[in-house]
Structure 1
């Protein structure tokens, strides 16, 4: 814990007052370059003087003064699974998307090594112009089969998949209707498209229907986008009702399966299997290779004309290097292990149910989570969430706080990512630690709370 220094505290408080009185968005804020005379046409040219950078440094200063360690960019010493080593210390890890525990699986590692031996570490150019490798075709065929789709296309980045595909398929004459909790990649893709965007309250199908009824007729194309399993709340949409809406209003339905592939459904095929839906009723299946499939990148699965269109027009495919061969091979191998070793999914879902039940029994708020792979513990205050994260790390549990502005201030939380490798002892231990620490954090005095309540 950092020792309290009165002079340092006063300096930090002064900085807080200055920023609160003159926020970065205010046109009247005096920049550091203006104070020092470093000007270029009256504009800041030094990144260190940008007000946005000042806010980052201020947050770090407040945390340091309150004795809090920076929760960002923690350095792992090796393979991070249900446990990990941070600076030589072994801790239980609940901050990994490795839902089925496949990272480091012998079959996955062997496939990646074999691909390096045959193809090297890169394809060195765009697949469109410089050709592709069999590992790409194998991966895309496997992904298409998972979604019962005609074809699939893989991208080198999951985030760029949504940005590029949505940004390319839609334009200023079109409409995009999404859940307010949708992932940033969808939001950025919608911005890029220039389409009219309507954000609906989380899980509110009536709001989606109202948005379509009042607006659909005025636009050329309409896209509805939801997540198969929401990454922040751990809940699911009603896919059958969404399909009815997309048919009624002649819209496309896109489902982001980033967190639901390998998690939902009897065999891990996602929300369609979980809710007994014909996958062909969804127009665009999107997913990532970086979570259950322990690789990197993203993909789209759907009708063959859609995939052909994307192969020739989607910027992040046409103008980007193809997925590295060892990465593609690892993802394909992970799909195979997922299907062969069905016990992993059963254990994952059992762990999720156990965590949700035990947390609820101890009075912890898990929000809307269905108790699958993502379960938040809602703390309700950003400073409290950061403090709790540090207290848990001291007790041997690695958790990352989700705080404002990523979530509403009263919804600050710790997100638990369950895996098939976690034990019941690890689950019981972390829940007991939270139930022990949280009441004291909420009731105790905190310099962070003092900072937050400064009268300006």
Structure 2
């Protein structure tokens, strides 16, 4: 290694360490308890947004990016439908940064369903559903979701994130325990914080660790819920559902499965994690999913037994105090469910091209972690700086993929996260892998 190269590497490493210390210092300051203050000497950081810890963190990140000459990958404007390809700044690009797994966002039948719903119901239901916002299309969607899961009923929310926050925050309290996989989505964490329940995490997909936590803590709490994901968005793997069901029955817990990424993706017909294992829907207490990925809309849902859904429908704050789901969004989701049922080849194509991507990446010597090779495949690079630079170079080569860096993941596992669509081709995959291999 040349002296010049060594100097550059050391410089990058020192800058990263410096920025990490600054970032962690801001975190510590934000957690410090508030000391009694006199009216005359209240620091500016308590009444100015430019002194807010979050804004200061943003400035530190921007400063680091500038020092390392890194391009920002955020808020790029897509000019039309984002599927296997997209248009950014007038350039058509191979796109691996969208959740349009089944290519249904922009599908002619889905668009037409939304248009017809607008013509009949307008663009907003203009009220909370319990008061004046209920429309027939809501019940149609909820019934279709419940049928997909083989459970009593379902309820849809206007936000996927708020679905978890409101459901977990409402159902559990300070006498309860929430145990979740360490890779749980932010919405699960925020919901747990809102509930006031004790929160514990177990190592990713580690069933013995989960069992140990239950043995140690179950008897100390009233309600206990285990929360996992059907398909993990960072790693592309899924949990052992049969073992989770055994544990929840053994310890008399609830089991909640977040299927934001897995519904429409896992199983021969896209019915999600339960289809992978051939398990009836009622074996899981709370099924959660989003409308914004395979169902080409926006919002979220909870599916389960009638007692759960009626409880949420009448008392969950995120449902009760929000305007109802817009009719065109509900119509798009219904149409997507219908296409999933009549065109299962879309799911087959998604599985085939995902498997091909995983195989080619591994053949090229790329680190794909624990990905199962269905829709989500990370390429783990390690360095946040290197990952960001490679993502920028791929973008210049006409390939759009997002970098996931510290603090989103540990510094030694910074990665490129590839979301696969059923419309991706082998040629697009080969082109991407070839360029990526050269860059690495």
For structure 2, list consecutive stretches of 5 or more residues without a partner in the other structure: 1-10, 31-39
1:341-400: CA deviation from partner (whole Å, max 9, x where unpaired): 111101000011001111011110110100001000001111111011001001110011
User: Separation in 1 of the partners of 2:52 and 2:243?
Assistant: 47
The Cα shift of 1:78 comes to: 1.3
1:204-247: CA deviation from partner (whole Å, max 9, x where unpaired): 00011011111111111010011011111100100000000000
Q: Does 1:434 align with 2:433?
A: no
Task: Evaluate the alpha carbon distance shift between residue 137 and residue 378 of structure 1 in structure 2; reply closer, same or farther with a 3 A threshold.
Answer: same
Match of 1:95 in 2: 97
Which shifted more, 287-296 or 126-135? 126-135
Aligned length: 418
User: Separation in 2 of the partners of 1:54 and 1:282?
Assistant: 42
Q: Does 1:180 align with 2:182?
A: yes
Match of 2:249 in 1: 247
1:397-434: CA deviation from partner (whole Å, max 9, x where unpaired): 00111111111111110110001000001111111111
Residue 134 of structure 1, aligned match among 133, 136, 140: 136
Give the 3-state SS of the residue equivalent to 2:288 in structure 1: strand
Aligned runs of 1:389-400 on 2, under 5 Å?
Answer: 389-400=391-402
Match of 2:33 in 1: none
* RMSD, aligned α-carbons: 2.1
Task: Evaluate the alpha carbon distance shift between residue 240 and residue 75 of structure 1 in structure 2; reply closer, same or farther with a 3 A threshold.
Answer: same
Task: Evaluate the alpha carbon distance shift between residue 222 and residue 19 of structure 1 in structure 2; reply closer, same or farther with a 3 A threshold.
Answer: closer
> Are the counterparts in 1 of residues 263 and 271 from structure 2 also a CA contact under 8 Å?
yes
Q: Does 1:61 align with 2:69?
A: no
Residue 81 of structure 2, aligned match among 76, 79, 82: 79
Q: Does 1:42 align with 2:68?
A: no
User: Separation in 1 of the partners of 2:186 and 2:153?
Assistant: 26
Task: Evaluate the alpha carbon distance shift between residue 51 and residue 157 of structure 1 in structure 2; reply closer, same or farther with a 3 A threshold.
Answer: closer
The Cα shift of 1:278 comes to: 1.6
Task: Evaluate the alpha carbon distance shift between residue 393 and residue 320 of structure 1 in structure 2; reply closer, same or farther with a 3 A threshold.
Answer: same
Match of 2:238 in 1: 236
Match of 1:31 in 2: none
Normalising to structure 2: TM-score of the pair? 0.91
Normalising to structure 1: TM-score of the pair? 0.88
Task: Evaluate the alpha carbon distance shift between residue 40 and residue 433 of structure 1 in structure 2; reply closer, same or farther with a 3 A threshold.
Answer: farther
Q: Does 1:316 align with 2:318?
A: yes
Match of 1:283 in 2: 285
User: Separation in 2 of the partners of 1:158 and 1:388?
Assistant: 31
The Cα shift of 1:79 comes to: 1.2
1:154-184: CA deviation from partner (whole Å, max 9, x where unpaired): 0000000000000111000001111000111
User: Separation in 1 of the partners of 2:192 and 2:321?
Assistant: 20
Match of 1:124 in 2: 126
The Cα shift of 1:51 comes to: 4.4
User: Separation in 2 of the partners of 1:357 and 1:407?
Assistant: 24
